[in-house]
Every structure is written in structure tokens, then in C-alpha cells.
């Protein structure tokens, strides 16, 4: 741990000097909450042991590089690797929706210093990329920690859960096997002992989470992976069906190339319309996706889904009739 903290000081100091912010022992000490004498010893080590070409500027009361080509010998990795780290870090931080913010904060700061110090150009890498999520259901940080602890330890997890279709919560005891972040929301794939089947639980709908303490045998990956990946969306049912949609030529230009599911089939018609076939299992989730395209899409198959969409559209139209 001591060596790691020592390295962080070098990375931070290197970044400040490279950006001509004239770091000194006082600034280094304040940033890392260490004594000024300790900070000065770190600077001396940086200059004399690592051969950093640093000089002290009296007017700016700080150090600067006399040779801008100098690089820390311990962090020479490629620009592509640095970019991959940066984008991954931003994705993880912003997809956590608050659950991992505190835990990732320190790691993010360390990685951010490393990236800022080594990426070329004048743009601030922290401002170069971001991710946007919508309809996020925030997860209580304590519940998140409890769920991940049960998952990693292979322990039974108990909690109260309220589904959108139910008015009351139910007590669940589950065998947690996998967590997935879908569109910014955390989901737990677990074998539910109450339903005696696999279920998808949204962490934001869980309350009173606790680790049971009892272990359970980990089930084969093949038993839960199809439940997660077989059809469109995140909510999966045992019954699957193909949905065939026809988009207008205008909307097809937007839809073409979008991946709704890896097994989808696209067919461009002579008039420029797009016929898209995708496997689905949760009618509510696929209907939401269909309805958001309004008059620009038509359900061709299955007939029962087409009729449900017609009923929903007519019900919506009735609300606007005078």
C-alpha cells in the first residue's frame, strides 16, 4: 500500500508540472493530506532517484519541467490503452447511478491523474467523454453492497420485493448468480426459492436486504444465461415468439443498423421500408418499444400482439377526443 500511495504522488506531481501549474511541497501535502516534510522528500525522490528534470521557479513558487519529453518510466503504456481505460472508467462511474459513486471515487481520481498526465493534446480527458442514461431507478448504496456481497460469497440473499404488477411486497430468499446493468439500471439474476424458478430482480425495487449466511451450490451457467440473453430486452419469460415490424421508409433510415437483438433479421423493401424480425418473450417490454415509434411502425406478426397494440392506440386516442 505504501508503494502504491508513493506512486500516486508521482503521477499527480508529474501531471501538475506537465500542465505548468507549478506544484510544490505545500500543494502536494495538501492534496494527499501528508506533512510538508514528507511531501518534500517525495519531490526529492522524484527528482534524484527517478531523474525527473524538475527545476524550482522562484516567481511561481513551484516546480516545472525543463524537458517536456520526460516520462515516468512506470507508466509508459500506449495511447490506445489509455483511451480504453478512460472510456471504461467513465462508463463504470456513470452507469452506477449512485451505487458505486463513493467506492469508485478514489479509484477514478487515481486513474484520472494517470490519464491526464499521459494523453497527448490540450483537451481535458475528463471532459471528452460522457454517457447518458434515462429512466434510471436508483439503487440504495447499502442494498447494493449487501447484494454484491451475497453474490460474490455465494450466500443466500433475503429481501422484500415489489413488482410493478403487485400491490404488496413479497419476502424472497434467492440464490444470486449474476448482476447486469441494463440501460443504467442494476438487475440481479437469481434462483428464487419462493417461485422455484429463475427471476430477474431490479435492485431499485428491493428493500430490507440481508445476507442469509447459508451457502448454496452454484448452478450451471447454462441454466441462467438463456434467461438473460435469449430474447429482446431484459425481462424474460419461458415462452418466446417472433415479432415482425414494418417501419416506414422515413423511420427506416433511423432504425437500419440498430441492434435490438443479435438474432434479429432485417429486410429492406422496394419502397425503402424496413421489415424487422426479432425474438421476444415479454409482451409489455416489446410493446413499449413499438409504441414509442407511433405511426412510423406497424406490427405484422404475431396477430395477437398487433391486436393489443391496436387496442392500446385506440385507448390513447380516446383520451384526446373532445
User: Tens of pLDDT along 49-65?
Assistant: 888 899 999 999 999 99
Q: Using an 8 Å Cβ cutoff, are 32 and 8 in contact?
A: yes
Query: How would residue 239 be classed by pLDDT, with cut points 50, 70 and 90?
Result: confident
Q: Using an 8 Å Cβ cutoff, are 237 and 195 in contact?
A: no
Average pLDDT, the chain: 81
C-alpha cell at 46: 522524484
Q: How far apart are CA 223 and CA 221, in angstroms?
A: 5
| Entry field: residues in the chain | 322
pLDDT at 96: 56
What predicted TM-score, i.e. pTM, was given to this entire model?
0.59
- The rounded radius of gyration (Å) of the Cα atoms in the chain is 27
Give the 3-state secondary structure of residue 261. coil
218-247 average pLDDT score:
77
Would the pLDDT of 275 be above 70? yes
Q: Using an 8 Å Cβ cutoff, are 278 and 290 in contact?
A: no
Q: How far apart are CA 72 and CA 243, in angstroms?
A: 56
C-alpha cell at 201: 430482480
237-260 average pLDDT score:
86
- 82-120 confidence digits (pLDDT tens): 667 667 666 766 665 455 555 555 555 555 555 555 555
- Domains defined for the chain, CATH in brackets: 2-65 (1.10.10.10), 79-127 (no CATH), 141-229 (2.30.30), 241-318 (3.30.70)
pLDDT at 181: 81
140-145 average pLDDT score:
84
pLDDT at 272: 92
* Of residues 211 and 262, more confidently modeled: 211
Residue owning grid cell 410493446: 287
Q: Using an 8 Å Cβ cutoff, are 70 and 52 in contact?
A: yes
Q: With 0-12 CB in 10 A as exposed, 13-18 as middle and 19+ as buried, what is 108? A: middle
Range among 42-56, 74-88, 135-149 with highest mean pLDDT value: 42-56
Would the pLDDT of 233 be above 80? no
146-164 average pLDDT score:
90
Give the strand order in the sheet containing 241-247.
265-268, 274-280, 241-247, 297-301
pLDDT at 123: 56
Angle, vertex CA 114, rays to CA 111 and CA 117, nearest 5:
145
* Of residues 262 and 157, more confidently modeled: 157
Q: Cα dist. 66→14, 63, 69 in Å?
A: 12, 10, 9
Query: How would residue 268 be classed by pLDDT, with cut points 50, 70 and 90?
Result: very high
pLDDT at 221: 87
Name the percent of the chain in helix, strand, coil, to the closest 5: 40, 25, 35
DSSP single-letter state for residue 115: H
- 279-322 confidence digits (pLDDT tens): 888 888 889 889 999 999 999 999 999 999 999 999 999 998 86
DSSP letters for 46-114: HHHTS---EEEETTTTEEEES-TT---TT----HHHHHHHHHHHHHHHHHTTTSSHHHHHHHHHHHHHH
pLDDT at 3: 43
| Lowest mean pLDDT across 21-25, 120-124, 169-173 | 120-124
Amino acid at each position: 500500500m505504501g508503494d502504491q500511495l508513493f506512486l500516486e504522488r508521482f503521477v499527480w506531481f508529474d501531471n501538475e508540472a506537465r500542465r505548468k501549474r507549478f506544484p510544490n511541497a505545500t500543494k502536494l501535502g495538501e492534496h494527499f493530506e501528508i506533512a510538508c516534510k514528507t511531501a518534500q522528500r517525495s519531490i526529492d525522490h522524484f527528482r534524484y532517484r527517478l531523474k525527473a528534470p524538475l527545476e524550482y521557479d522562484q516567481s511561481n513558487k513551484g516546480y516545472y519541467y525543463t524537458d517536456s519529453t520526460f516520462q515516468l518510466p512506470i507508466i509508459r503504456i500506449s495511447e490506445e490503452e489509455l483511451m480504453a481505460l478512460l472510456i471504461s472508467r467513465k462508463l463504470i462511474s456513470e452507469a452506477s447511478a449512485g451505487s458505486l459513486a463513493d467506492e469508485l471515487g478514489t479509484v477514478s481520481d487515481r486513474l484520472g491523474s494517470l490519464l491526464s498526465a499521459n494523453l497527448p493534446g490540450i483537451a481535458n480527458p475528463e471532459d471528452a467523454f460522457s454517457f447518458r442514461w434515462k429512466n434510471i431507478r436508483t439503487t440504495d448504496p447499502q442494498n447494493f453492497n449487501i447484494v454484491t456481497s451475497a453474490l460474490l460469497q455465494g450466500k443466500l440473499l433475503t429481501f422484500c420485493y415489489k413488482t410493478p404488477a403487485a400491490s404488496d411486497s413479497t419476502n424472497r430468499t434467492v440464490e444470486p448468480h449474476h448482476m447486469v446493468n441494463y440501460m443504467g439500471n442494476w438487475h440481479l439474476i437469481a434462483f428464487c426459492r419462493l417461485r422455484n424458478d429463475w427471476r430477474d430482480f431490479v435492485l431499485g425495487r428491493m428493500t430490507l436486504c440481508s445476507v442469509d449466511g447459508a451457502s448454496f451450490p452454484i448452478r450451471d451457467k447454462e441454466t441462467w444465461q438463456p434467461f438473460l440473453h435469449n430474447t429482446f430486452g431484459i425481462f424474460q419469460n419461458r415462452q418466446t415468439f417472433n415479432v415482425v415490424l414494418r417501419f416506414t421508409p422515413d423511420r427506416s433510415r433511423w432504425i437500419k443498423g440498430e441492434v435490438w437483438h443479435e438474432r434479429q433479421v432485417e429486410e429492406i423493401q422496394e419502397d425503402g421500408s424496413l421489415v424487422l424480425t426479432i425474438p421476444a418473450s415479454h409482451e409489455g417490454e416489446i410493446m413499449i418499444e413499438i409504441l414509442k415509434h407511433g405511426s412510423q411502425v406497424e406490427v405484422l406478426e404475431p396477430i395477437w400482439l398487433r391486436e393489443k397494440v391496436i387496442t392500446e392506440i385506440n385507448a390513447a386516442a380516446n383520451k384526446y377526443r373532445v
